[in-house]
Structure 1
Amino acid sequence: MTSTEKTPPRVARFADLSFAPRFAYPEMCEVTEVAGLADRSELAGGFARFRAAEIPWQVRYDELILVLEGQFSVETPEGVLSAGPRDTIWLPAGTPVTYRAEDALVFYSLQPASWASAEGEA
């Protein structure tokens, strides 16, 4: 495989994934990426677990969030978006947000996967 080829198709088994702290609030959020830059893709996705979370952020990518367990909300300038299991939240790049959850598991997908390296945050 050349350095520009994408990785081959695969299955990521949830039971085999390892979560790691994320953001400046490691006690509030852990994530595990299942696809992204390592696959030479501009689409990234993974799981995030939020506990007693109140995390301010500015979304620097288009993001789609699917709530799998618990209740998850995102405060935006337009109001609070609240979602439960099987609900989705869409966030366009540039949106200032606060992620909130007592105990929630979500799947996220974002593009571009390279947002952090483009801003020197990798």
Structure 2
Amino acid sequence: MMTASDETLLFKNSEMVFSRGYIHAGGHFSACRLLTLANSNSLCSGVTTYDGCSIESTMKYDEVFIVLGGNVRILWGPEYSRAVEAKFGDVVWLPKGNRVKYQGEKGIIFYVLYPVDWRTRPEDPQTDGAVGDVRLLKSKDMVYEQMYPESGGYGSRCRLITPDMSKTMGASMHTYDACSIEWTTHYDQATVVLDGTLRIVTGEKFNRVIEAKFGDVIRLPKGTHFKYEGDKAKTFTALYPVDWAARAEK
């Protein structure tokens, strides 16, 4: 029997409902939670805004986010002596264990974190105590490579978070223009559209078409068979597990 965590989901930007939080942090913070324990077994995701606030957090999970608007700043390190500042299209990787402050000016992000059950999951005794660095991946520095030229049109990707950086999630950018790329997911993924129109063609005999535009989010669970299509579409995707390819070979 199919459960909520097995379904392909579309979250429309125009229908997202935000709740204000962290009133004590000054300024304005709001959040719209999309993937939670109610509909996901692995990834947690949502959209949050930061404007004039300063929110402290100790990372009890790995998180990756992309900026959808404004400026977002992460302070970290000893006495918050280090900082990264991200703008539209920039991606930030926040490994578990870091103590950080989230700040911003009219900032809005799409975030994905693992695990979804971080609040109740016991600490991993295998953890060696090492904490990875916060990393900023600038949009202007991203290098794309063409993928699946036999699928017509043009599709490309830029791998961002890979197994050499992460033990949990992977992340990448993609473009789809007049192509039709057939694929089956070997992982759970969450994708946000940054530009153009993305179409996910799925279902029996590919009879279901999901169309997404800027700010819309699509969740594809592991085992989904579908086609990527699009018109000048640009997307950001986070997935779990990062080492899906190596697992598939076993």
Q: How many Å separate the matches in 2 of 1:40 and 1:68?
A: 23
Alignment pair present for 1:71 and 2:74? no
2:11 aligns with 12
> Matches of 1:56 and 1:74 in 2, distance apart?
10
The answer for the alignment partner of 2:99 in structure 1 is 96
Higher relative contact order (CA 8 A, sep 6+): 1
RMSD: 2.1
The amino acid of 1:21's aligned partner reads R
- 8 Å CA contact 1:70–1:84 kept in 2: the answer is yes
Please give the TM-score of this superposition, normalised by the length of structure 2. 0.44
Correspondence 1:99-118 to 2 at 5 A: 99-118=102-121
Q: Which amino acid aligns with 1:56?
A: E
TM-score, scaled to structure 1: 0.85
Residues 1:87 and 2:86 aligned together:
no
**DSSP-derived class of the 2:30 partner:** strand
CA deviation digits over 1:1-34, x for unaligned, max 9? Answer: 477x724102100111111123464753111111
Identity of aligned residues (%): 23
Larger radius of gyration: 2
Structure 2 counterpart of 1:61? 61
Number of residues paired by the alignment? 118
8 A contact 1:74–1:98 mirrored in 2: yes
Q: Which runs of 5+ in 1 are unaligned?
A: none
The question of 1:34 aligning with 2:34 is answered yes
Measure how far apart 1:40 and its partner are: 3.3
Query: Secondary structure of 2:120's partner?
Result: helix
Tell me, what secondary structure is at the counterpart of 1:118?
coil
**Contact 2:23-2:29 within 8 A present in 1 as well:** no
Where structure 2 has 5 or more consecutive residues not aligned to the other structure, the ranges are 123-250
- Runs (4 or more) in structure 1 with deviation over 6 Å come to none
Counterpart check, 1:46 vs 2:50:
no
CA distance in 2, matches of 1:7, 1:41: 9
Most deviating of 61-70 and 71-80 = 71-80
What is the alpha-carbon distance in structure 2 between the residues aligned to residue 64 and residue 36 of structure 1?
Answer: 16
Change in CA separation of 1:30 and 1:92 when aligned onto 2, cut-off 3 Å: same
Greater Cα offset, 34-43 or 54-63: 34-43
Supply the AA of the counterpart residue of 2:33: E
